[in-house]
Amino acid sequence: MFDNYADLFTIIKTTEKLEKAYVRDVISPAEYEPACTKLIAQFKTLWKSLKDTVPDVERFMNAFKMDCPAALNRLLVSGVPATVEHKGALSSESGSAVAVAECVQNYITAMDSLKLNMVAVDQVHPLLLDLLSSLNKVLLLPADFEGKVKTRDWIAKLNRMGASDELNEQESRQLLFDLDSSYNAFMTALPNAYK
């Protein structure tokens, strides 16, 4: 039990240090993203096994006097690396046909998976992460593009659920609707961006 608490403590502290290092430009986005993704995955795995004894991570942090607001945001609120959440992982492909094709592929894959009733969090979450990452590579899209905003909102919602939890029919339909409407907005934005 105490080993698990120590592991949780370590993951939170490490995430806080990683966030600070990234913000201070001590590490590159290429180094930051995989390290952060790994910490988020470790946190989710460990917390799932500790939910009975640690139902509230914020309370755990307060009990052990952990001042880690960046880790709290990254692990519990956002659930994705800052490079995915924002336009941090800039690519030379930005705005190119390759980046656009990747977005289209990720939209279609996510929508098709929902139509095939793949609604478990551990099935949907990676697809939405891929979609958000590919949307961020297309620089012609504004930061407040509805596809980015809705995808971020859904990722945050899924982060509050367990990996084996499933979207109910209403949630699944809403996600499919949001994906379809943002896909249409994406396709509409393309010709306007290249005028």
More confident site: 132 or 84: 132
Q: Which two tokens stand for residue 186?
A: 């994406």
3-state secondary structure 1-54: CHHHHHHHHHHHHHHHHHHHHHHCCCCCHHHHHHHHHHHHHHHHHHHHHHCCCC
Residue 136 DSSP symbol? H
Q: Which amino acid is at 18?
A: L
Domains identified in the chain and CATH numbers: 2-85 (1.20.1440.200), 97-193 (1.20.120.1130)
What pLDDT is stored for residue 12 in this prediction? Answer: 96
Provide the token pair at 48.
Answer: 């799932």
Neighbour tally for 144: CB within 10 Å: 7
Give residue 169's pLDDT: 96
Instruction: Tell me what pLDDT residue 106 has.
Output: 96
Task: Please tell me the predicted confidence (pLDDT) of residue 32.
Answer: 93
Helix, strand, coil content of the chain in percent (nearest 5):
70, 0, 25
Whether 192 shows a pLDDT value over 50: the answer reads yes
Residue 105 pLDDT:
96
The residue that leads in pLDDT, 89 or 126, is 126
User: Can you give the pLDDT at residue 136?
Assistant: 86
